[in-house]
Chain A
Amino acid sequence: MGRGPMEFVVVEFPTTTIDQQLAGQLREVVTSGLVRVVDAMVIRRDEAGTVTVQEFADLAPEAARPYADVVGTIEGLIADEDAADIATRVQPGTSALVVLLEHLWLSGIAGAMTAAGGRVVFTERIPAPVVDQVLAERAAS
């Protein structure tokens, strides 16, 4: 069976430790079966700009524990060159949680679309803050 589309989500935290609360939110969508975490890593950039890529297997147990039932099989799909690309976006002095999500809910839709001869010509995610801003502007006009 074909895989669903995948999406990188990279969340930067202003500290050298990754956030624990995010794990709870991720757990909800993973448990729902809509999304699967197929790969994850932590990218740190120190003040000097030196980048460290850390596997979940190498994280301190207390930092990794909340993610234990969220991150499934780490497939290693995030290649070194992906990590290098993402690392350029991480600010010095911060840590970024890199998660590769598979949108399971989209694979059925994609199959039906292909079977019907359709093709995706455009897809764009609008960040929630942008949606809020546009709605506020419309309400004000």
Chain B
Amino acid sequence: MFMRPGLRRGPGLLGAVARTAVVAGTATAVSRGINRSLDNREQERAEAAAYEQAAAQQQAPAQQQAPAPQQAPAPQQPPGRQDDLMAQLQQLADMRQQGLLDDQEFAAAKAKLLAS
């Protein structure tokens, strides 16, 4: 009666929205279909603002890392805290956006990050 979908692999829609919002700095301008607490939103706005600042400062170093993109995503700080993970995922997304990582490298780095 119902078709069975293929594997539900690949980038998720929710994650894509979060990444797009952060990269474009439009975290407040994206409709969120899923209810989130106000606190959560405020935190997202703060993170987006902080990320924009960090991205501006990292522009130059990010380009120097270009020859060795595989090393860049390796976590510099001990992982564990959700914030760190989010920041690192955002950094990866940004690097893909800038063309420093291709989709395969991004997926591999993300999987490694999530597994660590």
User: Which of A57, A73, A76, A122 is most buried by chain B, counting CB atoms within 10 A of its CB?
Assistant: A76
> Total interface residues on B, using CB and 8 Å?
23
Complex contact A75–B1 (CB within 8 A): no
Flag A94-118 by CB within 8 Å of B: 1 or 0 each. Answer: 0000001000000000000000000
Complex contact B6–A76 (CB within 8 A): yes
List, in ascending order, chain B residues with CB within 8 A of A85's CB: 12, 14-15
List, in ascending order, chain A residues with CB within 8 A of B34's CB: 8, 10, 86, 89
List, in ascending order, chain A residues with CB within 8 A of B15's CB: 81-82, 85
Complex contact B2–A64 (CB within 8 A): yes
Nearest to A7 among chain B residues (CB) is B33
Complex formed: what's the CA distance from A59 to B1 in Å?
10
Complex contact A56–B8 (CB within 8 A): no
Interface check A1, CB cutoff 8 A: no
List, in ascending order, chain A residues with CB within 8 A of B5's CB: 39, 55, 74-76
Complex contact B2–A76 (CB within 8 A): no
Complex contact A8–B13 (CB within 8 A): yes
List, in ascending order, chain B residues with CB within 8 A of A73's CB: 3
How many A-B pairs fall under 8 Å by CB?
Answer: 80
List, in ascending order, chain A residues with CB within 8 A of B1's CB: 56-57, 61, 64-65, 68
Interface check B4, CB cutoff 8 A: yes
Nearest to B11 among chain A residues (CB) is A79
Interface check A21, CB cutoff 8 A: no
Contact A57 to B4, CB < 8 A, known contacts A79-B10, A81-B14, A82-B13: yes
List, in ascending order, chain B residues with CB within 8 A of A56's CB: 1-2
User: Which of B1, B6, B35 is most buried by chain A, counting CB atoms within 10 A of its CB?
Assistant: B1
Q: Told that A64-B2, A123-B30 touch, could you supply 8 new A-B pairs with CB distance under 8 A?
A: A8-B14, A61-B1, A74-B5, A76-B5, A78-B12, A79-B12, A82-B14, A121-B29
Can you list 11 A-B contacts with CB-CB less than 8 angstroms, sorted by A residue number? Answer: A6-B13, A7-B31, A8-B14, A55-B5, A57-B4, A71-B2, A76-B5, A82-B12, A82-B14, A122-B28, A123-B30
Closest 4 CB pairs of A and B: A76-B5, A81-B12, A79-B12, A56-B2
